[in-house]
A and B are shown apart, each in its own frame.
Chain A
């Protein structure tokens, strides 16, 4: 079955460490996204990528980095510069790259998420 795989499901980090969250999709989707979810808040966009070797900052990119070397993969690195990294991280993909929504609205497919806790 096609879908998005995120790993690890749970991750613990000591202060000052960088950690990388994996996101792999086998849907042949062009676009991929990383969101952060905090309790009582909606999802906030960290980074998105429309095509291989290209990515754009979202609303809260500071302290994070990404790469898109393969269409299927979009890993997220939480760096030591991120002062409050404890959160639930969700990876998503959509069939097409950025476009106006409307009759051809792009639906996001989500992974199961990775929960990061700073010790």
Chain B
């Protein structure tokens, strides 16, 4: 069975400093992995996806993630945080489209 663990429920950074949101996954197959972002009382928006091509995936708004099979990780990074990055971030693992497993989410706070 597939599962995903987001290692931090809350991350706080200062504006202009790097962001690291950690995600570990478990899967019997070669899964697809996603990061979604959710602003308060809104739907989820896709940031990026990994689908067995390049292990370093670039997404929108300067975010990127690296797939590391040996570590079963898919951490999300951004070199410099912006105030507008404050939101909830979800890591998702999927073997089948109808069976996507969402992490519990990481709330990112950006301090001025």
Contact = CB atoms under 8 A, between A and B. Distances in A.
A102 B98 contact: no
Contacts, number: 84
Contacts of B96: 98-101
A31 B98 contact: yes
Interface residues of B, number: 30
B51 A103 contact: yes
Interface in B51-109: 51-53, 90, 94-105
Interface residues of A, number: 36
Nearest to B4: A42
Interface stretch (A12-20, A61-69, A110-118): A110-118
Nearest to B6: A42
A107 B46 contact: yes
Residue picked from B9, B34, B44, B103, most chain A C-beta under 10 Å: B44
A88 B47 CA distance: 21
A95 to B, nearest CB: 9
B32 A101 contact: yes
B29 to A, nearest CB: 8
Residue picked from B9, B43, B101, B102, most chain A C-beta under 10 Å: B43
Contact of A105 (B44, B51, B103): B51
Nearest to A99: B97
A110 B53 CA distance: 25
Interface of A: 4, 6, 31, 33, 40-45, 48, 50, 56, 58, 88, 90, 92, 94, 96-108, 110-113, 115
- Across the A-B interface, the 5 shortest Cβ-Cβ residue pairs: A42-B102, A110-B43, A101-B32, A105-B32, A106-B97
